[in-house]
Each structure stands twice: as structure tokens, then as C-alpha cells.
Amino acid sequence: MKLTIIGTTAASILGFRRDLILSLVQQGYQVYTFATDFTPAQKQQVTALGAIPVDYSLSRAGLNPLADLKTLLQLKRLLKDIQPDIVFSYFSKPVIYGTLAAALAKVPRRIAMLEGLGFVFTDQPAGPSFKTKLIRRIQVMLYRVAFRFADRVIFLNPDDPVDLLERYKIKTRNVSVLGGIGLNLADYPYSSAPSEPVRFIFIGRLLAEKGVNEYIAAAQLVRQRYPEAEFVMLGGLDEANPGGLTRIELDTLIAQGAVIYPGHVDNVGEWLANSSVFVLPSYREGVPRSTQEALAIGRAVITTDVPGCRETVVDGVNGFFVPPWSPEQLAEKMIRFIEQPELIEQMGKESYRIAQEKFDAQEVNERLVGMLLK
């Protein structure tokens, strides 16, 4: 049998679908992986997994209907040539156009997965802009059309189907909640957390919606009382994004000693291992991979009580919830770890236990394969 995976970037295919591809190949499936930016080296990596890489074009963030129509027709042609038994699409645009193209190409089984609802469905402190409301309306209309042709729609957390399907009265045949996509836990071995000094770490794109502004403001509040505390940020700048931290702002923070920013790193696990507490004050997530990595290594977590993030913490057990947009309450929880350093190891061990129970990629992929095939 043939199964096609339609994603966006080659990095997402190799970074997040590798174990799924291996599992499907081992079960005898001929797997095709669609991405928009394969390099020759990445194609070789996909081939080494036993799958077949396929190029296609997609405007990931654009609103050009002609470009999207071109993508739909290209996907239809490619799928008609391959004639797969199953099409599995993930991320917003591949879910919409991959599902519709699969229906037009008469693919027998069509599965869609949303790993989060994205920026346009994320609450903002100032409320949604007119443009955001317009894009949300367009996306809802497209989901309403595409999901009619999906045999199953998969979400990572239980809030997303409520906020999308129920709120907007979108019908689909079957809905499943997978949980986090999981990790190869062997890649993130447990380590005892340092506590002198207490070092907090944020991992994510340096965008407002990830809570970077609240993290920075909380760090400045904490340093007024405990100047020895350290605050690491790992993640890329996106100055084209209206909510993105600018290079000038970042350089000023570094010069002030407010944050430690090493730029791009390939050893995220080492940075986590050398940190005491993981912090993600995001406004909304699917189930954040960075938090799963922190849990696996055995780090206490401070995160927001919002969809996706709340799947990673039991409040008071392996970390703390804070409300979104509240650097004052975030700083309060950070100070608690400084004043009660025994919580760092105690809650870190609980995080490790939760990761073993909920975020083992092998078990998650077994559930996902079951959803794809049944």
C-alpha cells in the first residue's frame, strides 16, 4: 500500500515525522513525503529512511488565491500519478489543500492533522486586528469545505477541536486527540538540574505570541531582587513579524546583561541540561515540543494556562501555571524557585515521570498509525 505525507518544510518532515516514516516503512508501506524546500542532502536523508521525497510548491503564509489554486492543482496531479491509498496532511495549508487535492484525485483515505490552530486563533492582549479577523474567517471557510472530505481530523490537545469545530460548527466524520507528537526519549536523557545560580531558559521564536515579552519583563523584575539569577533565550529572530523582537532590542538586552542569547545553536539538549527551570509563557500551542524536551530531561516548567501548554504541567507538581500576559505573576513563580531551590529537583523528577508516561514517540506513533489506518 502507498501512503503520502504532505507537510511544509523538509526540516519538519525530517525533524517531526522521522519515527512515523520508519514505522510505516517497517510495516511495508511505500511512503512518499511532500515538502516545499528539499535540498539534495535532505532528499538523501529521506531516501535513507526508506521513503520517497517529492517536491511541491506552497505559499505558506500568503493570501494569494491564484497561488493556492496552483498548489491545489499541482497536488492533485502528483497524487493522481502516485495513486496512494492514504494521504496524511499536517499544518494548516497542507491540511486544506492536501485534503481537497486527495479528494479530487480520488484517494480512498484522507487524514488531516492540525498541530495547533495558529496565530489567527490565538488570543492577544489587545484583541484581534481586523486583518486577523478576516484571515480567521477565510480559514474557517476553507476548513469547513476541506473537512467534509477528511475521513479523520486529528488534534494534539482537547481544546483545539472545541475552539475550531464546535465554535464554528464545522462538521467532519471523525475527530481524534493524539496528545503531543512525542520524542525519542533516549535523545533526551535525564540529568540533575543545577541550582547555583538558578538559570531559567526560554526556547521558541522570539515572538510576542510565544511570550518572549513577558519572559523578558519577568526577568528584569526578578533581577531587581536576585541579580545573580540567569535568563537564557534560544530561538530565532523574525523581524518581519509585527510581534517579533528586533535586533536592536535584543542587542540592548544582551548589553545590559538581562539575558543570555547565544544565537543559533545545534545543542539545545545541552542548554536545557545546564538550566534549572524551563519557561514558556506562550499565548497558545498545539503541545509544545520544547516543553516536552524539558520534561524528558527532568526540568521543572513554568508555562501559561492556555490550550496546548496546559497538557504539559500538573500545577504544583512538576511546575506552575501562570495566566497569559502577566510578567508579574511569572516573576513571582520564578522567585519561588530561587527561594525554594529544592523544588527544582523535586518538580524536575515529576516532569521526567510525565514525559515517560505521555511523550514517548514510539507509543505516540503507534497511536497515530492506528488513526491513519483505521
pLDDT of residue 62: 67
Across the range 260-276, mean pLDDT stands at 94
Q: Supply the pLDDT for residue 59.
A: 82
Residue 282 has pLDDT above 80, yes or no: yes
Q: For 211-253, what is the HEC assignment?
A: CHHHHHHHHHHHHHHCCCCEEEEECCCCCCCCCECCHHHHHHH
Report pLDDT digits (tens) over 195-210.
999 999 999 999 999 9
**Average pLDDT of the residues in 313-319:** 98
Between these two residues, 161 and 362, which has the higher pLDDT value? Answer: 161
User: What is the reported pLDDT for 126?
Assistant: 87
Task: For the chain, give every domain's residue range.
Answer: 2-182+361-373, 185-358
CATH of domain 185-358: 3.40.50.2000
CA distance 86 to 295: 33
Which residues fall within 8 angstroms of residue 217, CB to CB, at 6 or more apart? Answer: 327, 331
The pTM for the full model equals 0.93
| Residue 167 predicted with pLDDT over 80 | yes
CA 178 vs. chain centroid, Å, equals: 13
Are 2-182+361-373 and 185-358 in the same CATH fold? yes
Look up the CATH superfamily of 2-182+361-373: Glycogen Phosphorylase B; (3.40.50.2000)
pLDDT for position 142 = 96
What pLDDT is stored for residue 11 in this prediction? Answer: 93
pLDDT tens-digit profile of 14-70? 988 998 999 999 999 999 999 999 999 999 999 999 999 999 999 876 678 899 999
With a cut of 80, say whether residue 317 has pLDDT above it: yes
Q: Are 23 and 3 in contact (CB under 8 A)?
A: no
Residue 121 has pLDDT above 90, yes or no: yes
Dump pLDDT digits (tens) for 226-250.
999 999 999 999 888 888 999 999 9
pLDDT band (50, 70, 90) for residue 264: confident
Note the pLDDT of residue 243. Answer: 87
Q: Which amino acid belongs to residue 221?
A: L
pLDDT band, residue 309 (cuts 50/70/90): very high
Please state, in angstroms and as integers, the Cα–Cα distance from residue 3 to each residue in 17, 51, 372, following that order.
13, 10, 9
Give the whole-angstrom CA distance, residue 234 versus residue 270: 12
Burial class from Cβ neighbours inside 10 Å (0-12, 13-18, 19+) for residue 79 reads buried
pLDDT of residue 61: 67
- The mean per-residue pLDDT over the stretch 265-288 comes to 96
Average of per-residue pLDDT across 106-131: 93
Give, in degrees to the nearest 5, the angle at Cα 259 between 239 and 222: 120
Average pLDDT score, the chain: 95
